[in-house]
């Protein structure tokens, strides 16, 4: 089994970087078994094709603009992941959704996709998350842990090293 | 006044590029290129330790991560006048070329071929005839009748479900699509094979850069890859052998598929050799340093005036004064506070001053760079011309090859001048890619030979002097000249300016109100249907646009992310 936890977003635009910040924290706080692969996708596209191909499941952590209250958490599963139905002007726009569509076309699509997102408060230039979004990180971790558990993988917090 | 077309965004991969065109009598009579998002990364860098800049700058852009990392360390090394160990140069050169090959293959097949290739028309192709055509052009092992039949079936199944997935919203059936069904099927098949091939280029970057998509191995003073021939955890013989195997696969595809496809597709679009020239002052910097100081390069660079190869002025070293003194940026038409005229990047300012979209005033977040006062085109075409002008033998070989193959298919002689065009930029990108894959093999040999001599050094420790120092790092990135300009005080950054390739090409009008390369290249482009401005996209996409500020917040409301307005 191979489950990919993918953090995406631009870390230079404050809350846009929540996905990347979340996987950093996940790696810092948890012991992860080999079947869980963590990828810092940043804002890349096709470079991720190989890492994402034939995954049993992909958990995507990202900023999601869903018209909800700022800093609220959104979980999208299955049909709710708007992968194939984006309005596009031309076929020249490769982002994460296109990478997933490409995997589907070549028959290497993941067994399932879950998006765990946070509604951004600010997309201003800056390397820090806003305090409101940062405060949701523990809850975000819980959601990832629960999701992994449902997929059959138990992960545990690292035992803090005694001083 | 004619019709006005607004396309926003042109591409989603890198932030927002908006293009406005005025169309009169079926042709573009005036054009504006506008970056729709502020790139404020320079402000973030102020006060940071110069050794950390590369890791921050590689987050500027989702497509060009490695190029900003490399250019940033070069800028700081230049400020310190540092030497870089040979192994580090070779490892960087391998990353640079593997990344460039990845970028060029993906750009041609996955980002722009579908401007020219009609996927739906491929359904009408006879796989047997496609195989016969393919065999007449190349001996690529993936060109069998069986393979073409398989792809056609898969495509038929896909289209049958009504969901085109990756091919949604292409301009299928557009009157400007000219390829016969067999050529379309050939191209779609190679589109899929290129998906496989690009993985090998990614793997090379990943192995040498210690991680992908964001490399981890860069350092001011070298690279952090330890080299040992007997350890598993570092750059080993085994890993180097794997890299060599991937280089061979890339070489096969680029020489036997990419170069051939560009010539074949180009032959059917001969009219596009007369469209899209725009600015024919070409700027290219040398790259792939072969010594520790950056005075010898595998690939030459220089400046060409008005498309005349004889006018070439070489750019010869990382300390080249001609380059360093020639660059300025104007903000007269950009959303920044100005009033001081065009400024050299060391003196550059990035203070936002948003107005509205003003046709004759400010209309873009992109600044307008100039080389000795004039706009310059950068990218593979500039690179190929600068190398050809300096008699770089591999460049001349592949360039002549593409022109001859296209000429044979079109049954006419295609002159070198044909490359000053929209389709010429695609041809040049393929030629550049062939030169780069040769260099990938060459740099691999140089690295292996140097290690065999017993040299395992990869890093020189930087020493930051008290007081002020400034430097420029440049890199001939896939999209062209990239330069980072840094001013340091006591090792901390006090000014940082990135002049990126798309800034050169997507520049708005400059201090003298002269249009930038995109804007100039769109003039006289024919537009058959203002609601579906495929021709405009063809020319803009031929530059491989990439605005350095990716935002891709997932839109769960399903809002349209694109608008085409024809007024």
A8: chain B residues, CB-CB within 8 Å: 552
Q: Which domains does chain B have, with CATH numbers?
A: 3-455+464-518+525-566 (1.10.645.10)
Report the residue of A4, A43, A81, A82 to disrupt the B interface, i.e. the one with the largest count of B CBs within 10 Å.
Answer: A43
DSSP track, B48-114: SBGGGHHHHHTTS-SS-HHHHHHHHHHHHHHHHT----HHHHHHHHHHHHHHHHHHHHHIIIIIIGG
pLDDT bucket at A53, cuts 50 / 70 / 90 = very high
**Distant-in-sequence contacts of B336-343, Cβ < 8 A, 24+ apart:** B336/B367, B341/B511, B342/B368, B342/B370, B342/B373, B342/B510, B342/B511
| Nearest alpha-carbon partner for A42 in B14, B62, B57 | B62
Q: Do A84 and B165 touch (CB under 8 A)?
A: yes
B11: chain A residues, CB-CB within 8 Å: 92-93
Q: Do B553 and A105 touch (CB under 8 A)?
A: no
CATH architecture of A3-157: 3-Layer(aba) Sandwich (3.40)
Report the residue of A70, A86, A92 to disrupt the B interface, i.e. the one with the largest count of B CBs within 10 Å.
Answer: A92
Q: Is the dihedral of CA B168, B171, B173, B177 positive or negative?
A: negative
Asked if the bond preceding B505 is cis, omega within 30° of 0, the reply is no
Residue A106 touches partner B, C-beta closer than 8 Å: yes
Q: Do B63 and A45 touch (CB under 8 A)?
A: yes
CA distance B169 to chain A (A): 6
Q: Do B199 and A50 touch (CB under 8 A)?
A: yes
For B282, phi then psi, to 5°, come to -115, 130
Q: Do A85 and B13 touch (CB under 8 A)?
A: no
Q: How many CB atoms lie within 10 A of CB A67?
A: 9
Q: Do A49 and B12 touch (CB under 8 A)?
A: no
B214: chain A residues, CB-CB within 8 Å: 40, 42, 44
CA distance A153 to chain B (A): 25
pTM for the full model? 0.90
**How far apart are alpha carbons B275 and A93 in whole angstroms?**
24
For B321, phi then psi, to 5°, come to -75, -35
Residue A49 touches partner B, C-beta closer than 8 Å: yes
- Which is higher by pLDDT, A15 or A67? A15
Which residue among B167, B171, B199 places its CB closest to the CB of A49?
B199
Which residue among A8, A67, A104 places its CB closest to the CB of B557?
A67
Q: Do A90 and B537 touch (CB under 8 A)?
A: yes
Residue A147 touches partner B, C-beta closer than 8 Å: no
B552: chain A residues, CB-CB within 8 Å: 8-10, 43, 95-96
**How far apart are alpha carbons A131 and A36 in whole angstroms?**
29
Strand locations in B139-277 (E): 218-219, 222-223
Q: Do A44 and B213 touch (CB under 8 A)?
A: yes
Report the residue of B42, B57, B62 to disrupt the A interface, i.e. the one with the largest count of A CBs within 10 Å.
Answer: B62
Which residue among A12, A41, A46 places its CB closest to the CB of B106?
A46
Pick from A129-133, A138-142, B86-90, B205-209: least confident: B205-209
CA distance A22 to chain B (A): 15
Binding-face residues of A in 5-34 toward B, CB within 8 A: 8-13, 16
Walk along chain B (567 residues) in steps of 10 and give the mean pLDDT of each run: 69 62 91 77 88 88 80 98 97 96 93 90 96 95 96 85 64 90 96 94 90 82 79 71 96 98 96 96 98 98 98 98 97 92 92 89 93 98 98 98 96 96 98 98 96 92 95 97 96 92 93 97 91 88 66 39 45
Distances (CA, A) of B257 to A63, A110, B39, B401, B468: 39, 30, 37, 13, 51
Q: Is the dihedral of CA A88, A91, A94, A98 positive or negative?
A: positive
Q: Which residues contact B24 (CB under 8 A, 6 or more apart)?
A: B1, B2, B3
A10: chain B residues, CB-CB within 8 Å: 59, 62, 549-552
Q: How many CB atoms lie within 10 A of CB B244?
A: 15
A126: chain B residues, CB-CB within 8 Å: 44
Q: How many CB atoms lie within 10 A of CB B394?
A: 17
CA distance B108 to chain A (A): 10
Q: Do B554 and A105 touch (CB under 8 A)?
A: no
Instruction: Name the closest residue on chain A to residue B46, using Cα atoms.
Output: A126
A120: chain B residues, CB-CB within 8 Å: 553
Report the residue of A14, A40, A46, A102 to disrupt the B interface, i.e. the one with the largest count of B CBs within 10 Å.
Answer: A46
Mean pLDDT of A26-35: 95
Residue A50 touches partner B, C-beta closer than 8 Å: yes
Is B284 buried (19+), middle (13-18) or exposed (0-12) by CB count in 10 A?
buried
B40: chain A residues, CB-CB within 8 Å: 125
Binding-face residues of A in 108-127 toward B, CB within 8 A: 115, 117, 120, 123, 125-127
CA distance A104 to chain B (A): 8
**How far apart are alpha carbons B174 and B172 in whole angstroms?**
5
Strand locations in B326-450 (E): 327-330, 368-371
**How far apart are alpha carbons B470 and B485 in whole angstroms?**
8
Residue A46 touches partner B, C-beta closer than 8 Å: yes
CA distance A154 to chain B (A): 26
B171: chain A residues, CB-CB within 8 Å: 90
Q: Do A45 and B62 touch (CB under 8 A)?
A: yes
* SS3 per-residue string spanning chain A: CCEEEEEECCCCEHHHHHHHHHHHHHHHHEECCCCEEEEEEECCCHHHHHHHCCCCEEEEEEEEECCCCCCCEEEEEHHHCCCCCCCCCCCCCCCHHHHHHHHHHCCCCCCCEEEEEECCCCCCCECCCCHHHHCCHHHHHHHHHHHHHHCCCCCEECCCCCC
Q: Do B203 and A115 touch (CB under 8 A)?
A: no
Name residue B554's beta-bridge partners.
A64
Quick one: angle between helices A18-29 and A137-150, nearest 10?
70
For B285, phi then psi, to 5°, come to -105, 155
Query: Over the range A97-125, which residues count as b (16 or more CB within 10 Å of their CB) and which as e?
Result: bbbbbbbbbeeebbeebbbbbbbbbbbeb
Residue whose tokens read 């090394």:
B77
Q: Do A66 and B170 touch (CB under 8 A)?
A: no
Structure tokens at B458: 């990869």
Residue whose tokens read 């993906």:
B106
Q: Do A125 and B40 touch (CB under 8 A)?
A: yes
Instruction: Name the closest residue on chain A to residue B563, using Cα atoms.
Output: A89
Report the SS3 class of residue B503: helix
């Amino acid at each position: 089994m191979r489950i990919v936890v993918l953090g995406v977003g631009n870390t230079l635009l404050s809350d846009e970087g929540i996905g990347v910040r979340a996987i950093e924290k996940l790696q810092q706080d948890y012991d992860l078994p080999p079947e869980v692969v963590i990828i810092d996708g940043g804002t890349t596209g096709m470079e991720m094709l190989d890492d994402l191909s034939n995954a049993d499941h992909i958990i995507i952590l990202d900023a999601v603009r869903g018209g909800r209250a700022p800093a609220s958490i959104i979980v999208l599963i299955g049909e709710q992941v708007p992968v194939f139905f984006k309005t596009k002007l031309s076929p020249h726009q490769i982002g994460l959704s296109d990478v997933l569509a490409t995997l589907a076309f070549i028959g290497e699509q993941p067994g399932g996709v879950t998006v765990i997102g946070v509604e951004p408060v600010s997309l201003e230039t800056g390397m820090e998350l806003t305090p409101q979004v940062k405060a949701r990180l523990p809850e975000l971790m819980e959601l990832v842990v629960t999701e992994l558990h449902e997929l059959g993988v138990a992960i545990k917090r690292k035992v803090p090293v005694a001083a | 006044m004619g019709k006005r077309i607004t396309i926003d965004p042109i591409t989603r991969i890198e932030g927002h590029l908006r293009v406005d065109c005025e169309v009169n009598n079926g042709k573009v009579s005036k054009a504006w290129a506008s970056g729709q998002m502020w790139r404020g990364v320079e402000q973030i860098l102020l006060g940071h330790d110069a050794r950390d800049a590369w890791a921050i700058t590689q987050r500027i852009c989702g497509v060009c991560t490695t190029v900003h990392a490399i250019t940033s360390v070069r800028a700081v090394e230049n400020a310190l006048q540092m030497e870089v160990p040979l192994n580090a140069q070779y490892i960087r050169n391998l990353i640079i070329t593997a990344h460039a090959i990845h970028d060029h293959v993906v750009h041609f097949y996955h980002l722009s071929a579908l401007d020219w290739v009609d996927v739906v028309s491929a359904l009408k192709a006879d796989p047997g005839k496609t195989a016969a055509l393919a065999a007449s052009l190349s001996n690529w092992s993936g060109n069998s009748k069986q393979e073409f039949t398989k792809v056609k079936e898969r495509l038929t199944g896909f289209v049958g479900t009504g969901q085109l997935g990756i091919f949604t919203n292409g301009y299928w059936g557009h009157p400007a699509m000219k390829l016969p069904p067999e050529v379309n099927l050939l191209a779609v098949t190679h589109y899929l094979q290129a998906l496989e091939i690009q993985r090998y280029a990614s793997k090379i970057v990943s192995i040498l850069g210690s991680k992908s998509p964001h490399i981890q191995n860069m350092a001011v003073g070298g690279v952090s890859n330890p080299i040992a021939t007997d350890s598993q955890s570092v750059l080993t013989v085994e890993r180097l052998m794997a890299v060599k195997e991937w280089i061979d696969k890339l070489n096969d595809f680029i020489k036997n598929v990419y170069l051939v496809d560009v010539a074949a597709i180009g032959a059917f679009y001969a009219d596009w050799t007369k469209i899209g020239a725009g600015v024919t002052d070409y700027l290219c910097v040398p790259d792939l340093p072969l010594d520790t100081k950056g005075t010898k390069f595998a690939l030459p660079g220089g400046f060409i005036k008005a498309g005349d190869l004889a006018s070439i002025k070489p750019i010869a070293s990382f300390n080249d004064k001609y380059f360093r003194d020639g660059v300025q940026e104007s903000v007269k038409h950009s959303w920044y506070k100005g009033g001081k005229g065009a400024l050299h990047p060391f003196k550059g300012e990035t203070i936002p001053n948003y107005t509205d979209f003003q046709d004759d005033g400010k209309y873009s977040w992109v600044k307008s760079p100039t080389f000795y006062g004039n706009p310059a085109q950068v990218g593979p075409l500039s690179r190929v011309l600068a190398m050809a002008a300096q008699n770089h033998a591999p460049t001349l070989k592949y360039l002549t090859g593409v022109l001859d193959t296209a000429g044979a298919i079109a049954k006419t002689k295609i002159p070198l001048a044909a490359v000053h065009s929209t389709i010429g930029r695609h041809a040049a990108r393929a030629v550049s890619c062939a030169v780069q894959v040769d260099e990938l093999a060459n740099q691999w040999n140089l690295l292996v030979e140097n290690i065999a001599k017993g040299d395992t050094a990869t890093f020189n420790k930087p020493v930051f002097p008290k007081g002020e120092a400034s430097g420029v790092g440049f890199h001939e990135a896939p999209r062209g000249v990239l330069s980072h300009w840094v001013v340091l005080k006591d090792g901390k950054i006090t000014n940082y300016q990135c002049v990126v390739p798309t800034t050169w090409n997507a520049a708005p009008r400059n201090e003298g109100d002269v249009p930038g390369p995109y804007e100039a290249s769109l003039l006289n482009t024919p537009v058959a249907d203002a609601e579906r401005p495929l021709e405009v996209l063809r020319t803009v996409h031929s530059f491989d646009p990439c605005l350095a500020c990716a935002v891709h917040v997932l839109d769960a409301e399903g809002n349209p992310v694109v608008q085409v307005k024809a007024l």
